[in-house]
């Protein structure tokens, strides 16, 4: 495959972040038009995103052979974590304003730092601890505990739980990625999400009008495209150069929340988002200074 360079990878990553924003916004919009459960969101996101992922797999050298695996049990564990995370994230999305849900999702890198200490025995210096503290301050600003107009506690707990699970997935992926191809990891995760989401949709689903089905389908396509763009970006640029572009997702959430949902973010949400983004950007900059590669978790349903 031809390598277009770092700039091309950055452009792909920016497009991925905005595509994820569009997916979130469309799913949230559908849920405001008609009742849509978290399980349904997972199902529609997966079933309409899967063709995009499949076309990507078939376009690569090796085709379907690239989704074979020598570690099915580890994939099963990764998928179990990922499906749990995406359900929590979508449930938080249903209960929270779009900007709040997106902002809380970006606490995943903070949790990943803490989990890497416990499970990967990584050494964390004062710079990364500073970033962790800065990020948690941002969470407190968004939470506004005890203050009037604070976001629903239930939604915040679901969103934080989703971010924590996303961080746990990152720890697993660091190990799984040493022996497994990205195509296998992505493909089997989409299959797991479509299967579990389909079962949950049968249990707790609703009938939908054609316009709402079209919105859900568009959200699934946007999610599949986002996954493709995000994964492909890694083939052209190092993670440390790409990570800052993930925060465009916050910008996308604010703009799309206003355009589609007439939902303007509060000053506290914007301030908290700035602190959390600052935490992630500071970590990325520090790792670049040290010339180390980082693998931050994706704060979105590519969990």
96-116 residue pLDDT tens:
999 889 888 888 777 877 777
The pTM assigned to this predicted structure is 0.85
How is residue 168 written in tokens? 């746990």
The string of pLDDT tens digits covering residues 219-241 is: 999 998 988 888 788 778 776 67
Contact (Cβ atoms closer than 8 angstroms) between residue 107 and residue 254:
no
**Position of tokens 């010339």?**
291
How is residue 289 written in tokens? 């200074």
How is residue 131 written in tokens? 């970033």
* φ and ψ of 41, to 5 deg: -60, -45
| pLDDT band, very low/low/confident/very high, at 154 (cuts 50, 70, 90) | confident
Contact (Cβ atoms closer than 8 angstroms) between residue 22 and residue 222:
yes
Other CB atoms closer than 10 Å to residue 27's CB: what's the count? 28
The string of pLDDT tens digits covering residues 185-206 is: 889 999 999 999 999 999 988 8
pLDDT at residue 32 greater than cutoff 90: yes
Contact (Cβ atoms closer than 8 angstroms) between residue 246 and residue 229:
no
Other CB atoms closer than 10 Å to residue 264's CB: what's the count? 12
**Rg value, the chain, Cα:** 18
Other CB atoms closer than 10 Å to residue 254's CB: what's the count? 21
Spatial distance between the Cα atoms of 166 and 173, rounded to a whole number of angstroms = 10
Spatial distance between the Cα atoms of 176 and 124, rounded to a whole number of angstroms = 22
Kindly report the length of the chain: 303
For position 195, what pLDDT does the model report? Answer: 96
Specify burial of residue 190 (Cβ count, 10 A radius: 0-12, 13-18, 19+).
buried
**Burial call 68-95: b when 16+ CB within 10 Å, e when fewer:** ebeeeeebeebbebbbbbbbbbbbbbbb
DSSP assignment string, 160-183: HHHHHHHHHHHHHHHHHTTTS-HH
296: left (phi over 0), alpha (psi -120 to 50) or beta: beta
Instruction: Kindly state the percentage of the chain with pLDDT values over 90.
Output: 31
At what angle are helices 210-233 and 6-33 packed, to 10 degrees? 160
């Amino acid at each position: 495959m031809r390598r277009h360079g770092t700039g091309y990878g950055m452009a792909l990553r920016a497009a991925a972040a905005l595509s994820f924003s569009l997916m979130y916004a469309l799913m949230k919009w559908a849920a405001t038009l008609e009742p849509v459960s978290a399980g349904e969101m997972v199902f529609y996101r997966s079933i309409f995103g899967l063709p995009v992922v499949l076309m990507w797999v078939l376009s690569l050298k090796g085709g379907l052979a690239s989704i074979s695996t020598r570690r099915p049990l580890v994939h099963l564990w990764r998928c179990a974590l990922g499906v749990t995370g995406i359900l929590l994230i979508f449930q938080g999305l249903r209960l929270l304003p779009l900007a709040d849900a997106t902002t809380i999702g970006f606490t995943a890198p903070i949790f990943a730092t803490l989990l890497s200490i416990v499970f990967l025995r990584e050494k964390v210096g004062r710079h990364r601890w500073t970033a962790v503290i800065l990020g948690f301050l941002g969470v407190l600003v968004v939470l506004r505990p005890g203050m009037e107009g604070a976001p629903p506690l239930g939604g915040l707990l679901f969103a934080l739980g989703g971010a924590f699970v996303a961080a746990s997935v990152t720890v697993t992926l660091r190990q799984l990625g040493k022996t497994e191809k990205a195509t296998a990891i992505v493909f089997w995760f989409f299959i797991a999400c479509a299967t579990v989401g389909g079962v949950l949709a049968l249990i707790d689903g609703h009938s939908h009008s054609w316009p709402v089905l079209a919105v859900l389908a568009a959200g699934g396509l946007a999610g599949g495209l986002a996954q493709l763009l995000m994964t492909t970006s890694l083939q052209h640029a190092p993670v440390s150069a790409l990570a800052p572009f993930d925060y465009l997702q916050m910008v996308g959430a604010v703009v799309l929340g206003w355009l589609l949902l007439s939902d303007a973010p509060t000053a506290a949400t914007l301030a908290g988002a700035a602190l959390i983004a600052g935490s992630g950007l500071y970590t990325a900059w520090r790792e670049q200074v040290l010339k180390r590669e980082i693998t931050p978790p994706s704060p979105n349903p590519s969990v």
